[in-house]
Amino acid sequence: MAWTFIDPARFAGTCYRAANWIELGPTRGFAKSNDTYVAHGAPKRIWVYPLHKKARLILSSPRPHPDLPRQEMKTMTLTDVDAAALFARLGSLEDPRARRGLRHSQRSLIAIILCAVISGAQGPTAIGEWVKRLPPAMLRRLRCRRTADGRYEPPSEPTIRRLLQTIDIAALEEKLGDWLHTQGVADRWPL
């Protein structure tokens, strides 16, 4: 199923209608900002296009269709020794972010991204969902920020997304290649 949004103040959606797209209706007029939604008062129109002739039947079925891909995310087992080895390798990476307003260290964010990808997460949204489900002991092991009340705070999806946009992938692969091989997961690291 392909989908798009149309701003009715600027466009009528005529080309989508002519191409057999289906108009579902208006949004509620909210935009995502960090971890929350903010009302902006400008509802958009949602249009969808089925890419399979039985798309409606498949998507409305009460049980998952066998042809739909299933990607289960697992929690990765990371011992204290593994974590120490990982953070030792990440220690010399240069942090491209401005110093002001940083809540999470680059090393912690990279470790979280790495473990989430190894566990099956694909993309910043899935990584954000994965880290939210981690127990406090794993958040501590991944060196997440500790709040005033003693809880470990996982990074938000926008924080993860911003780091992925600025990081030097070649330097990261150079630092982590041997560690990934020792974990037996080098073939699952998609960089």
For the chain, domain boundaries: 2-60, 80-188
- Nearest-CA neighbor of 160 among 92, 88, 103, 91? 103
Higher per-residue confidence, 174 vs 189:
174
The string of DSSP codes covering 58-104 is: HHH-SS--TTS------PPP--HHHHHHHHHHHTT----S-STT--S
Cα separation of 90 and 108, whole Å? Answer: 9
Mean pLDDT of 60-89: 72
Mean pLDDT of 70-84: 68
Residue pLDDT, tens place only, 18-69: 999 999 999 988 887 766 778 888 999 999 999 888 888 887 877 777 776 6
Enter the pTM of the model.
0.57
CA 119, 96, 160, 73: dihedral to nearest 10 degrees?
Answer: 0
**What percentage of the chain has pLDDT greater than the value 70?**
84
Residue pLDDT, tens place only, 120-159: 888 888 899 889 988 999 899 999 989 999 999 999 999 9
φ/ψ of residue 146, rounded to 5:
-100, 130
Higher per-residue confidence, 174 vs 125:
125
